[in-house]
Amino acid sequence: MTFKIRTIEEKDIMETYEVIRNAFWDVYTPGCDEHYMVQQIRKVPEYIPELELVALDKDKIVRHVIFVKTVILTDQGKELEVISLGPIGVLPDYQRLGIGGQLIKTAIKRAQAAKFRGILLYGDPEIYRRKGFVPAETYGIRTADNVYMPACQIYPLENITKEEFAGKYFEHPCYQIDEQAAQKFDQQFSPRISRTGLASQRRFNKLIQEVRPFKG
């Protein structure tokens, strides 16, 4: 299926919160905070409005992606600017239709045109390797805690080298969740029952525990 993809507009704001909330509800944890996270990203100077994209089925937003600038502190002591992808979400009824791939391809082209050098994210490797992402460890990139994590992945936007990119990847502080603020933000949406013990939640807990120490 082909969907219209465009940059977000002011009138889309609330609808994108609904899309993200519905996409992530109970997926990683009971309930979700990702819609609150999107609000926080939009507030910071490093937010990249031209890379916040939506996919539409007629006039209905069914997929959304957002980016923010951040850095790798390299082993050479330099701050290397990269961009973080996410959250990226699709309405449950539109999953597995290839919309995510279309949206990411469009975002990649725009990011390359804007001369960004690499896209990083934390996500399930089973999903993102199919979209061209590779383990960040390939380029010597570790988490801010200085460990390798399979969930940390990169999409190089140009020919990059391990010698230049090796270092610690720091997610932007806007990804840190204030749980009380997130709960207050969620109150403006329709109440939903949350569930525990789902397979996707178990998969997430397994992924975040898969770390390997850096021996440098």
- Tell me which residue range forms the domain holding 25: 4-173
Instruction: Say if 195 falls within a structural domain.
Output: no
pLDDT the model gives residue 99? 75
In a domain, 26, yes or no: yes
In a domain, 74, yes or no: yes
Distance CA 166, CA 189 (A): 42
196 domain residue, yes or no:
no
CA distances from 70 to 34, 67, 76, 92, 121 (A): 18, 10, 17, 30, 11
- Please state whether the predicted TM-score (pTM) of the whole model is above 0.75: yes
Which pLDDT does position 136 carry in this prediction?
99
Q: What is the CATH number of the domain that holds 25?
A: 3.40.630.30
Confirm whether 180 is domain-assigned.
no
* CA dist., res. 38 & res. 35, Å (int): 5
The 8-class DSSP code of residue 155 comes to E
Six token digits for residue 161: 């080298």
Distance between CA atoms of residues 173 and 171, nearest Å = 6
Question: Residue 167's beta-bridge partner residues?
Answer: 74, 141
Determine whether 201 is exposed, middle or buried from the number of CB atoms within 10 Å of its CB (0-12, 13-18, 19+): middle
Residue 104 placed within a domain:
yes
- Residue 97: predicted pLDDT: 85
Q: What pLDDT is attached to residue 211?
A: 97
Number of domains in the chain: 1
Q: Average pLDDT for consecutive 10-residue bins of the chain (216 residues)? A: 91 98 98 99 99 96 98 98 97 87 94 98 96 98 98 98 98 97 98 97 97 92
Question: Do the domain assignments include residue 114?
Answer: yes
- Does any domain span residue 122? yes
